Structures are given as C-alpha cells and as structure tokens.
Structure 1
Amino acid sequence: MIKRLKDQYFAELSELFNKMCVKLQHVDSIIPPQISSEQYDKMKSFKIMLERILQMLQIGKSSVQPSMMDNVPRYEKQIISILNSQRKPVQPQIHQQFQPPAG
C-alpha cells in the first residue's frame, strides 16, 4: 500500500520538496538569520512535513509497523491535499461556437 503511494506521488512530492529547499535557501540569503517571519516559519514547517512524508514513502516493506498501515489512508489524504494546494489552477478553456449570421 505504501509502495502504491510512493509510485503515485513520490516524484511530485520530491520536486515540491526541492523547490521549497531552493526557496528557503534564497530567503536565508537575503534575510538576516535573527529575523524570522510567520511566512518563513510556515515554509520551514512545510518543508519538514514534506521531508517526513518522503521518508515515510521510502520505508522498506519489512520496516512498516502495523500502526503505520492503519494510517495510510490519512497519509494519502494529506498528500493529495498538499499537492492540490500547490498546483496552479487550470483555467477551463472556453470554446466559442460561431453561428453564421442569419440572412
């Protein structure tokens, strides 16, 4: 079950994690370390959460605890929520129907 989640979501989560690392490194380079903003703290927390999810997806089958298996549906909901929140909304394309002028 975890393997299915890994196959389905790992690449996208990993890409998101890498983007977050780059973003945080950029912020670290322009903001003095003693100054911390709420948004920066949220970004750091988000990065840590992604890191934990990625670690969970890489756990070998023999290392999976029964309690972890019980939580897999919750993990999947969280993963889907994270990915959906980070995706850019897709604008539906409007197909115009041209009607010939009457006459």
Structure 2
Amino acid sequence: MSEIRYRKKYTIQVVISGGEVDENSVSVKLFAPAFNTHSFSMNQRLLVLGNDKVTALGNSTYNVDATTPRSGNLAPSGFYLLFVAHQGIPSQGIWVRLW
C-alpha cells in the first residue's frame, strides 16, 4: 500500500497493451469502497484525478502524471483504490491511503 497526500503531483507507471494509446483517453481514478450499515451502502465515491501528462516509455509502458485532490472536502482522508483507465478499461487497482 502506498500513501499519497493532498495537492501533490504523482507519476504512475502503467502497462497499456493493445496498440495505439490515445493520451486523451487515459484517466486516473480513485475509488472509495462503500461500507454497509443497516442495509444501506454508504460512502461510495469515485474521483477522476487531473491527468497532466502521459509519456510513452516503450514496450507498452507509460508514465501518467496525475494531481491529487486539493482537500478533504472533495475526498475525505482514508483508503482508496487507484486505477488508470484507457478508453474506459481500468487497470488492476492498487490500495492507497490519501491524507
């Protein structure tokens, strides 16, 4: 698990296979999993991060620069699954702790 902070730019390395990669169709997303209480699903949240730059490294490997939310008003601190999506297809998620 990695820790990320508010208002920071991070570089995420991802493998995207399947030919040409359209930089405009790459997005980084944080997903806060829901918790259940009294048969209601609460705290579900999906955030699309600012995608600043996509750089090809070769062999279907790319660096994606993304900026985290400004404050806890938009994304309360806690655990999130981080995904990189290309043309709507998500990567394998990794757990991160935002604070």
The structure whose residues are more often helix, as a share, is 1
TM-score range, shorter chain: under 0.3
More strand, by proportion: 2
Q: TM-score by structure 1 length?
A: 0.26
TM-score (norm 2): 0.26
The structure whose Rg is larger is 1
